[in-house]
Amino acid sequence: MKHTEFWIRMDDALGASYARSWASMFVLADLGGRTVDEALAAGVSPKEVWASVWRALGLPPNKR
C-alpha cells in the first residue's frame, strides 16, 4: 500500500477534514504508542499503520 492509498482510506473512514487531525492526535498502542503521523514518519509501512487504524476504529472487514 502506498501513502496515497492510505490517505484515501483514512479520508473514506473519517472524512477528509477529520482524518488528518485524528492522525496527528490519536495514539495507537499497536504502533508503539505513536500517532499515525509519527508512525509513518518513523518508517512504519502504510499497510501496517492502516491495519492498526482499522482495528482501532472497528471498521468492517470490507474496509480492511
Cα 20 from Cα 14, distance rounded (Å): 9
For residue range 9-64, list pLDDT tens digits in order.
Answer: 999 999 999 999 999 999 999 999 999 999 999 999 999 999 999 999 999 988 88
Residue 64's pLDDT is 87
Grouping H, G, I as helix, E, B as strand and the rest as coil, residue 45 is coil
In the structure grid, which three cell numbers stand for residue 4, read together? Answer: 496515497
Residue 21's pLDDT is 96
pTM of the predicted protein model: 0.91
